[in-house]
Amino acid sequence: MIYDFFANLFGSDVIASFISGALPVVFIALFTLFAVWLERKVSAHMQDRLGPMRVGWHGWLQTFADILKLIQKEDITASDTDKKLFNIAPVLTFMGSYAAFAAIPFSSAYVGSGIDLGILYIVAVSGLVVAGILMAGWASNNKYSLYGAVRSAAQVISYEIPTVIVILTVVVVIGSLNLTKITEFQTSRFWDWMIFGGSIAGIKKLILLPFMVIGFVILYISSLAETNRTPFDIPEAESELVGGYHTEYSGIKFTMFFLSEYANMFAVSAVASALFFGGYHSPFGYFGNLIGLSWLVPIEQFFWFTIKGAFFVFVQMWLRWTLPRLRVDQLMTLCWKYLIPIAFVNFLIVALIMVL
């Protein structure tokens, strides 16, 4: 819809594609501004502090101040780094996170590309983030960075397996990989969301319900690992590795990694909410339909989508300041010995239920 609007406005497909493709950047930037502030406030209040209070009301302008500071900073490149790769790595990492936004339906009026393989595409492009992180770690020519990068890559690859199995579980029920179709299957009534068994009539819905809850928990745990968040933040464990793969980065390049991390956090939250919590659907019908203003519906949908995404991001922060970090062997044990077998059995049971 938005694409058609711009195409009509400018009369050119190319300009319309560029503008509608650039919209997620604006979203990511604004979201990051908010999320960084939220992260600091959440951490502060969990530790009985107040957090940033000086810049603006309860410090809400603090992130603007930080961004201004980061942009002004001198761009330091250590002398023994591999200059070319060192400079490409932040861009590649951000590219991977940003590419995922192309297939995420923000509302029924805006999805970058409604391809039929949406969810598979998101899984595919997350591989670019791994390549970018490995590049950063290697180019920094620093053992802490390299350790961080290798840990991060090993972790992301391992946790992709349970993620994909859970995604398959949902796809078996819905019968489509298109995120818009997955969202449309879950109607704007919260008991039709996949976490409550989807919009399937009869007893099947009740039987599916517990398995969907298990699936969601596994997906959420592995999404934490895929974004390198605590309790899986060993790639950038401050007490062991200084800062992991972005130890050597400063100024605007560090900001790119930061943006990429928060974009990733929102992307995995958006995928979780699109698969299990009705995506952009409102939990109880639309105000716009009630008063007969149909143009209000997509805006409401965007609102609900952002709220759900932000909520899951908040839960990620909540966990970060609650749980201790896992050791590397515990991390792999959790993935290969618990999550993958449970996800597989869960998948088989759901497939059986759907066949019967």
Partner 1 sequence: MNLADFLFYVFAVITLVSAFFVVTFKNIIYSAFSLLLTFLGVAGIYVLLGADFIAIVQVIVYVGGILILILFGVMLTNKIQNVPIKTEASFIIPASITIGAFGGILVSTFINTRWKSMPAELANSTLTDVGHLLMNEYILIFELLGILLLVALVGAASIARKQ
Q: Which residues bind partner 1 (CB under 8 A)?
A: 13-14, 82, 84-85, 88, 115-117, 120-121, 123-128, 130-131, 134-135, 137-138, 146, 149-150, 153-154, 157, 160, 177
* Minimum distance of partner 1 from residue 280's CB (angstroms): 22
The Cα-based distances of 83 to 8, 76, 274, 296, 342 in angstroms read 44, 11, 40, 50, 44
CA torsion sign for 298, 302, 304, 309 is positive
* Minimum distance of partner 1 from residue 160's CB (angstroms): 7
* Minimum distance of partner 1 from residue 226's CB (angstroms): 12
Beta strands 110-111 and 105-107, pairing class: antiparallel
Which residue's CB is nearer to partner 1, number 36 or number 134? 134
Which residue's CB is nearer to partner 1, number 49 or number 143? 143
Cα within 13 Å of Cα(228), Cβ side: 27
Which residue's CB is nearer to partner 1, number 181 or number 325? 181
CA dihedral 89, 228, 147, 43 (to 10 degrees): 110
* Tokens matching residue 230: 């605590």
Q: Which amino acid is at 332?
A: M
Which residue's CB is nearer to partner 1, number 63 or number 163? 163
Q: How far is 256 from 23, CA to CA, in rounded Å?
A: 17
* Minimum distance of partner 1 from residue 278's CB (angstroms): 23
Which residue's CB is nearer to partner 1, number 178 or number 269? 178
Tell how far CA 232 is from the center of its chain: 15
* Minimum distance of partner 1 from residue 103's CB (angstroms): 10
